[in-house]
Structure formats: structure tokens, C-alpha cells
């Protein structure tokens, strides 16, 4: 409940005051605010935390996520590039994660080319970063460019997580853009079946596919 969250936040806030150089308490407190989508609090507490524990890359990541949610894209990118300097040289998976987040932020801010550059970088560190493979291929599909590459990237995600509706939706949409409507239908139907509460976007995509297959009534 909200009361429990407020109480937990209060306790962790006291703990951070008592032991400000202990990163665990900061991470718990920031995590609570993030979970409740209290983005200004995440940013406020995160920046305070960085003064005491500047080497915790997770904190930069959380503040970046909150900044992106509040459309402060420059600040998000600054946090990500600073956080990246604290990632261990050999930790390719975390580096990939950071670059992937940078790609998302660039895309949200409207800079597609820079976004794709970051996604490429993310994949150079971890070729099976599923979030990046999915977002990259979906954005390419929306633009209708590099569809063969988009299909290959998306296929990797569906193989890895065949029950993930988001990944199935992307895969279906790529087939739609390629004009392969029967395959698009198969995967979109799957995506809908795997979702407890499908989004409006899923139904819209499925409608578009059915329409192209000539099933107009069903599409409507």
C-alpha cells in the first residue's frame, strides 16, 4: 500500500542519513521511488546519493531513467555517460545495457541516427541484448528500412523468449511491413494470446493485418 511505501521510504531516508556512504540504503530508497514512478524524487535522491557514493553505476542508470521519463533527455544522457565511466572495463553486459539505454533516450528525443549508432555499440558489447534487439528492430520496422536486418534481430528475441508478447508484436509488425501478412497474422495472434491485458496498439496492429488479408469485418 501507499502507506507502507511511505513508511519504508522514511526508514531508508533515515538510514541514508546515518550511513551516507553505504550504497545499499540509497539503492533501496531510489528503487522505492522508481517503483512508484515518483521520478522527481528519484532524481533528487539520486543526485544526493552520487555525492556520497559516486562509483555506483546503478544510481546513474536510475536517475537517467527518471530524467528520460520527465523528458530531460540531455540530463539522462549525461547521467548515462558518467555512469558508464564506473562500469568495469570487462563488464560487457553492463556496458551494452548502458549504450542500449542511451539509444532509447536518443530515440525518444527524436535523434534516430544517433539512437541506431548507440544500439550498434550496445550490440557490439553484447550481441544478445534482447531489449536492444527488440527496440532496434521495431524502430526500423516503423520506418520501413533495413527490414531484413530487423527481421533477423527480432527473430533472436522471439527464439529467446517465445512467450514475450512485446517481442512477438515486433516480429509480426516486421512481417507486416514486408507484406508477409499471413506470417504477420500468426505472430500477432500469438502476441494477443500471450497478453493478459493487450494494449490498444496490439489490437490496432492486428486490425491492420486482418484488413490487408481482406478480413475487413474482423478488422473493424
* Rg of the chain taking only CA atoms, in angstroms: 20
| pLDDT value of residue 95 | 97
Spatial distance between the Cα atoms of 15 and 37, rounded to a whole number of angstroms: 22
pLDDT value of residue 197: 84
Q: For position 111, what pLDDT does the model report?
A: 96
On whether the CB atoms of residues 62 and 46 are closer than 8 A, the answer is yes
pLDDT for res 104: 97
Neighbours of 216 (CB within 10 A): 10
| SS3 state of residue 83 | helix
pLDDT at res. 3: 83
Cα(141)–Cα(40) distance, rounded to whole angstroms? 33
Cβ neighbours of residue 188 closer than 8 Å, sequence gap 6 or more? 168, 169, 172, 173, 176, 202, 205, 206, 209
Low-confidence ranges of the chain (pLDDT < 50): none
Specify the pLDDT at position 2. Answer: 78
Q: What is the pLDDT of residue 202?
A: 86
Please write the tens of the pLDDT for every residue from 81-105. Answer: 999 999 999 999 999 999 999 999 9
Is residue 138 within 8 A of residue 170, CB to CB? The reply is: yes
The C-alpha atoms of residue 144 and residue 146 are separated, in whole angstroms, by 7
- Residues sharing a CB contact under 8 Å with residue 138, sequence separation 6 or more, in sequence order: 150, 154, 170, 173
Amino acid at each position: 500500500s501507499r502507506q507502507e511505501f511511505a513508511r519504508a521510504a522514511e526508514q531508508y531516508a533515515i538510514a541514508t542519513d546515518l550511513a551516507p556512504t553505504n550504497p545499499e540504503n540509497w539503492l533501496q530508497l531510489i528503487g522505492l521511488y522508481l517503483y512508484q514512478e515518483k521520478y522527481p524524487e528519484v532524481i533528487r535522491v539520486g543526485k544526493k546519493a552520487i555525492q556520497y557514493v559516486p562509483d555506483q553505476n546503478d544510481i546513474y542508470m536510475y536517475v537517467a531513467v527518471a530524467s528520460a521519463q520527465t523528458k530531460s533527455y540531455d540530463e539522462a544522457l549525461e547521467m548515462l555517460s558518467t555512469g558508464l565511466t564506473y562500469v568495469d572495463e570487462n563488464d560487457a553486459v553492463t556496458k551494452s545495457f548502458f549504450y542500449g539505454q542511451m539509444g532509447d533516450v536518443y530515440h525518444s528525443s527524436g535523434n534516430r541516427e544517433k539512437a541506431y549508432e548507440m544500439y550498434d555499440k550496445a550490440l557490439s558489447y553484447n550481441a544478445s541484448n534482447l531489449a536492444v534487439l527488440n527496440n532496434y528492430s521495431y524502430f526500423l520496422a516503423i520506418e520501413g528500412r533495413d527490414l531484413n536486418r530487423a527481421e533477423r534481430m527480432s527473430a533472436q528475441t522471439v527464439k529467446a523468449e517465445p512467450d514475450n508478447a512485446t517481442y512477438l508484436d515486433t516480429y509480426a509488425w516486421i512481417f507486416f511491413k514486408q507484406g508477409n501478412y499471413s506470417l504477420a497474422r500468426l505472430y500477432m495472434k500469438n502476441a494477443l494470446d500471450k497478453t493478459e491485458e493487450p494494449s490498444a496498439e496490439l489490437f490496432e496492429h492486428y486490425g491492420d493485418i486482418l484488413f490487408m488479408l481482406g478480413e475487413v469485418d474482423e478488422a473493424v
